[in-house]
A and B are shown apart, each in its own frame.
Chain A
Amino acid sequence: MLLRTLSLGAMLALAPALLAQTPEERGLAIAVEGDARDQGYVDSTANMKMILRNRAGKESVRNVRIKSLEVEGDGDKSLSIFDEPADVKGTTSLTWSHSDKPDEQWLYLPALKRVKRISSKNKSGPFMGSEFAFEDIGSQEVDKYTYKYLRDEEINSVPTFVVERYPTDKNSGYKKQVVWIEQDRYLALKIEFYDRKDSLLKTLEASDFTQYLDKFWRAAKLEMTNHQSGKSTTLEFSGYQFQTGLKSSDFSKNALKKQK
């Protein structure tokens, strides 16, 4: 079972772990393994409910449908279709993420029938006014960070690797992130985000993991707390489907106008 889920690349990455390894090499190896275990999902669709909470506990809700397509040798393509709030209903964003060059991003505004290409440089900006930045939501490619293994640690008696990672993109809003990765399944259970001044900005906690197609683990709940503003955002995912037969043409600029 374990062997079946390990790809060749992952085994190559793990092999040096048996030898002496620098913390940087070990951190990278953990990231590569985590990435390898999620390869081959082909495509997926899900519903995302976003609950924004301000300091006083006042809530505001967004509903977004997400479609993703795995692209071999490059970053994933994804579509986000907004259903709520009603004033942005039908607004759709298309992202082609890349590992070697800046992501490409378009926004479709249904009231104007207008497709706008938008800058993907704005990584640190808030997604839909939430505590999630664009870079927290986007596809997590191994090349987007450099790594350093810190230590082993238990969270609620679950053994984890604690790895520090540093964004390679100078437009990132973070100096560093500290990630707690479950040793058994290579899932990120907790991430601490440090701002450019290196002070703790946010904490993300993932829970309610479900396995799909005997392989792919997805969290049903992500909780982001901003320690500086006192605001928080919960993402609840439901209706995950994999290998639904989505094609590259479903992620084209023209398809952006045709979502519903």
Chain B
Amino acid sequence: MQKSFFFTAVPAFAIAATLASTSASALDWRGNVSSELTWFPAYSTGAKNWKLNTSIAADVELTQDLADNIRLTVHPFVRWDQQDDERTRAGVRELLLSTTGETWEFNAGLGAVFWGVTESRNPVDIINQTDSVEDFTGEEKLGQLMLNLKWFTDSYGEFEAYLLPKFEERTFIGENGRPYPGITVNPDLTTYESSEGSDHIGYALRWTNSFDAWDIGLHYFDGTSRNPSLIPVVTDNSAVLAPRYPLLKQVGIDAQGLYGDLAIKTETIHQSGDEIESHVETVTGVEYTLVGFLSPVQENEKIPGSWCTSETRNPFKKLACNDRMDLGLVLEYLWDQRGNDSNQPFQNDLLAGFRFAFNDAASSDALFGIVQDLDQGATTISFEASTRLFESYRLKILGQKFLNTKDDTVLNAFEKESFLQVDFSYFF
């Protein structure tokens, strides 16, 4: 699998190298080399008899202005993974030519587009395919071949049209990959509703505008579903899942209202098609930021001013006296009309998140999140913290803990898949 990926990667690296060597003047880059160490306290089910994994990766996004208002973006990446062959690969996330006028923009090539406002999940974000082998949370995306025209107006917002001539399959971890979902997905068994397969041409339209405190986006999408149905099949005496990609039509809205420290957010979509049940999905919630939430400690008259001296070496005192730290509280409700028949796990779930921004010289942050399934009782706890070291490095620690998964149709396989990961990256 991933042949198309690999073959586009080779010319992309060649173009990247040519850009870097010929014209240093207008070339700009942004990249990192990362090394990660993942530890699973428990062995997995079946053959996955390992607890520790190492992986290294590099990616670089290069932009070069070829002429006034004409820009080329090339974004190759490469990863080696000790345990999972599906994760060891090279590819390209972007290979895009852009031209810009005062009121319009045209993009052609392999592009990356983000739509959405919520924190837990982005149902409206349908242009790019999820690269789930790269990142368990589904935030990483694959490049999408596109022709894209944007038109900006002063009073009527921004209009976008996309023609999507080639479909990219979702990536799945291999049989040695973890966190292991209980059964392996075999991409060689992929089928499509469309007789044209991955050559089916999709299109999308989008409009966005701002009204005082509100930023609103509407979209329509017609094409191949990014999220496949996974059908159990038996091959060579073993059960695997075969991805099937139906065709669908999607309409949706994403909106954010900002009232001081309170943000109100929603992403709501309706999907329909011959092979999928017509349904609504939504993520709706609020985010409230407590700015300098520990400053009352310092401003409290009962606490002597000397208690919070800057010389203190007591780490708890240091933390309690940090009046620069912000705390963001996130509460989101995730719903899918199909209930337990949904092909995604968040059918009736609640997310509570706590985001700490230390506002220190090292830009340290920490995020705690709890997702509670209100139907089936499963709880997912996630933790992520990062800080800058030696100016150009970042250290990140993240963990995921699955609890009460016994009765959950999707998460029951994850009982032994809780993990802790340390990621150390160099940025350039």
Contact B291 A124 (CB under 8 A): yes
| In the complex, number of A-B residue pairs with CB atoms less than 8 Å apart | 94
Contact B105 A89 (CB under 8 A): no
For A204-242 the 0/1 string (1 means CB < 8 A from B) is 000000000000000000000000111000000000000
- Alpha-carbon gap, A254 to B148, bound state (A): 14
- Alpha-carbon gap, A126 to B152, bound state (A): 34
CB-nearest residue of chain A relative to B141? A113
Query: Chain A nearest CB: distance from B273 CB in Å?
Result: 27
User: At the interface, yes or no: A137 with Cβ under 8 Å from chain B?
Assistant: no
Query: Chain B nearest CB: distance from A187 CB in Å?
Result: 29
Contact flag A229-B359 (CB < 8 Å), given A117-B256, A252-B152:
no
With a CB–CB cut-off of 8 A, which chain B residues contact A230?
310
Chain B residues numbered 317-349 whose CB sits less than 8 Å from any CB in chain A: 324, 326
User: At the interface, yes or no: B225 with Cβ under 8 Å from chain A?
Assistant: no
For A186-207 the 0/1 string (1 means CB < 8 A from B) is 0000000000110000000000
Most chain B beta-carbon neighbours within 10 Å: one of A61, A85, A87, A114: A87
B292 in complex: contacting residue of A117, A124, A260, CB < 8 Å: A124
User: At the interface, yes or no: A129 with Cβ under 8 Å from chain B?
Assistant: yes
Contact B258 A119 (CB under 8 A): yes
With a CB–CB cut-off of 8 A, which chain B residues contact A229?
310
Contact B256 A197 (CB under 8 A): no
A122 in complex: contacting residue of B256, B261, B363, B425, CB < 8 Å: B261
User: At the interface, yes or no: B170 with Cβ under 8 Å from chain A?
Assistant: no
> Number of residues in B with C-beta < 8 Å to the partner?
48
Of B35-43, B387-395, B400-408, the stretch lying at the interface with chain A is: B387-395
Tell me if A's interface is mostly helix, strand, loop or mixed: loop
CB-nearest residue of chain B relative to A55? B310
With a CB–CB cut-off of 8 A, which chain B residues contact A124?
291-292
User: At the interface, yes or no: B315 with Cβ under 8 Å from chain A?
Assistant: no
User: At the interface, yes or no: B112 with Cβ under 8 Å from chain A?
Assistant: yes
- Alpha-carbon gap, A152 to B388, bound state (A): 46
With a CB–CB cut-off of 8 A, which chain B residues contact A114?
114, 116
CB-nearest residue of chain B relative to A110? B30
User: At the interface, yes or no: B4 with Cβ under 8 Å from chain A?
Assistant: no
Contact flag A85-B427 (CB < 8 Å), given A114-B114, A125-B359, A129-B359:
yes
User: At the interface, yes or no: A144 with Cβ under 8 Å from chain B?
Assistant: no
Contact flag A117-B388 (CB < 8 Å), given A112-B114, A129-B360:
no
With a CB–CB cut-off of 8 A, which chain A residues contact B428?
86
Contact A117 B258 (CB under 8 A): yes
Contact B359 A254 (CB under 8 A): no
A125 in complex: contacting residue of B102, B326, B388, CB < 8 Å: B326
Contact flag A129-B361 (CB < 8 Å), given A85-B392, A85-B427, A249-B102:
yes
Given contacts A85-B388, A119-B263, A247-B102, 13 further A-B contacts (CB under 8 A): A55-B311, A85-B392, A87-B394, A87-B427, A110-B61, A117-B215, A119-B260, A122-B291, A126-B359, A229-B310, A249-B103, A252-B152, A260-B65
Q: Which residues of A come within 8 Å of B, CB atoms? A: 52, 54-55, 60-61, 84-90, 102, 110, 112-114, 117, 119, 121-122, 124-126, 128-130, 196-197, 228-230, 247, 249, 252-254, 258, 260
- Can you list 20 A-B pairs with a CB-CB distance of less than 8 A? A60-B361, A85-B391, A85-B392, A86-B391, A87-B427, A90-B30, A110-B61, A112-B139, A113-B113, A113-B114, A114-B116, A117-B256, A119-B263, A121-B261, A122-B261, A129-B363, A197-B299, A230-B310, A254-B150, A258-B100
